[in-house]
């Protein structure tokens, strides 16, 4: 952790289950980022299975039938369990997930589940962090190693070469 702080790095800690997110959050003072379904407090939408959850949530919001949308999110401080996040959402009548991501930009350590690995681009953009400045910790990640390794690029774009060439200074080689 000290290395990350000294070098201005952020840590994204991915666990297997939501309960482990809560545990990591308590142990290292990480901001827990639970999935929207895990902290949803809408009476009907919260009971919908995972495959249809996003479409149902979006439809309810668009129809104006979500009493928590739009709400004024409150920034939450870790550590928090999913239950506590839901309680805050009910108390302030706001979507709990919005409260979780409100303080994201100022957080150094984030704890989430492996399911967030597929949306790492979204999380990094909300976090205002670059992949090169992020340490990824895969806790019990044996079953997702292939996915994690596919995220590492060993190629370079023409745009990156062009950008690098603009920053180069000409040198004279003496031989």
Q: Is the pTM of this model over 0.85?
A: no
Q: Determine if the peptide bond prior to 79 is cis (ω within 30°).
A: yes
The angle subtended at Cα 121 by Cα 99 and Cα 90, nearest 5°, is: 15
Decide if 50 contacts 18 (C-beta within 8 A): no
Mind listing the pLDDT tens digit for each residue in 15-72? 888 778 888 888 888 888 887 788 888 888 888 888 888 899 889 888 888 887 776 6
**2-167 fold:** Rossmann fold (3.40.50)
Nearest to 20 by CA among 9, 10, 34: 34
């Amino acid at each position: 952790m000290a290395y990350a702080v000294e070098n201005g790095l952020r840590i994204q800690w991915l666990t297997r289950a939501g309960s482990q997110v809560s545990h990591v959050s308590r142990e290292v003072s990480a901001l827990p980022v639970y999935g929207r379904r895990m902290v949803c407090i809408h009476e009907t939408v919260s009971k919908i299975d995972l495959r249809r959850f996003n479409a149902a949530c979006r439809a309810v919001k668009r129809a104006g039938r979500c009493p928590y949308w739009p709400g004024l999110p409150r920034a939450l401080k870790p550590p928090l369990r999913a239950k506590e996040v839901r309680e805050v959402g009910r108390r302030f009548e706001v979507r709990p997930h919005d409260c979780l991501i409100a303080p994201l930009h100022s957080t150094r350590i984030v704890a989430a589940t492996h399911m967030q690995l597929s949306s790492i681009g979204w999380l990094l953009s909300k976090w205002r962090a670059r992949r090169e400045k992020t340490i990824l910790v895969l806790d019990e990640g044996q079953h997702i190693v292939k996915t994690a390794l596919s995220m590492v690029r060993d190629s370079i774009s023409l745009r990156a070469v062009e950008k690098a060439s603009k920053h180069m200074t000409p040198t004279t080689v003496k031989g």
